[in-house]
Structure 1
Amino acid sequence: MNKVFDALSHPIRREVLELLKSGGMTAGDLADRFPVSKPTMSGHFAKLKEAGLIQGENRKGSVVYTLNMSTLEEALHGFMGRVGIGAPETGARASAARTGSDPLEGKEST
């Protein structure tokens, strides 16, 4: 989780993730959107890959980056758990969440 938050600490890396939300992009296309050198962007891509937030695939001589949402989701859930947000539900509500039913459906409130 530390690697994910380290990767998210830089505004360029966060913006790269924003750009990739709409689909894969080549390293060159991504780099062209930022006022830094291509080697600097390469370092940002490496940091995002190391954290597992993006994946790179070589296609016809270009690297195409895509988001790895599962890593981001895991980090978010881990963080939320550490700060006490979204703690696991217990009792009838947790059972209903697993089965897709509403335990209060059809019952009148008192």
Structure 2
Amino acid sequence: MKINHVLKALSHPIRRAIIAYLRNGSMTAGALAEKFDVSKPTMSTHFAALKEAGLITAERDGVTIHYRLNATVAEEAIGMLMGLFGTQHMPSVQEQPPAPEETENEI
């Protein structure tokens, strides 16, 4: 995974929207293209950038292409960025301690 490819791929709003759609499961190239008012060659360019970054995978079924999200690459990129800023590990919601309850003395 090259962080530069990931950041460049995520720099365009249409590519971020494609990622958002794919969070709900795989979609065909045609179904994704219908969501945007751009030409087919433009969509192909966006798909290529996301594939090059490793953020999506493509599987051909005859003439239909199904795209899927590859969340592992996004997780690796987030980890690299956190390391860059000196935050090695950010606890998940499950790992965070529960919020303290208010007591009468605090009110």
Report the TM-score when normalising by structure 1.
0.77
Q: 1:33: Cα distance to partner?
A: 0.3
Q: 1:9: Cα distance to partner?
A: 0.2
User: Is there any run of 5+ residues in structure 1 with no aligned partner, and where?
Assistant: 89-96, 98-110
Between the aligned residues of both structures, percent identity stands at 52
SS in 2 for 1:55: strand
Please identify the structure whose Cα radius of gyration is greater: 1
Paired residues for 1:35-74 under 5 Å? 35-74=37-76
Q: 1:59: Cα distance to partner?
A: 1.2
Instruction: Name the counterpart of 1:18.
Output: 20
Instruction: Name the counterpart of 2:10.
Output: 8
- Closer/same/farther in 2, CA of residues 78 and 61 from structure 1, 3 Å limit: same
- By relative contact order (CA 8 Å, sep 6+), the higher-ranking structure is 2
**Post-superposition, which runs of at least 4 consecutive aligned residues in structure 1 deviate over 3 A?**
none
Q: 1:87: Cα distance to partner?
A: 4.8
The letter of the residue matching 1:56 is A
Partner Cα distance (1:19, 1:87) in 2: 27
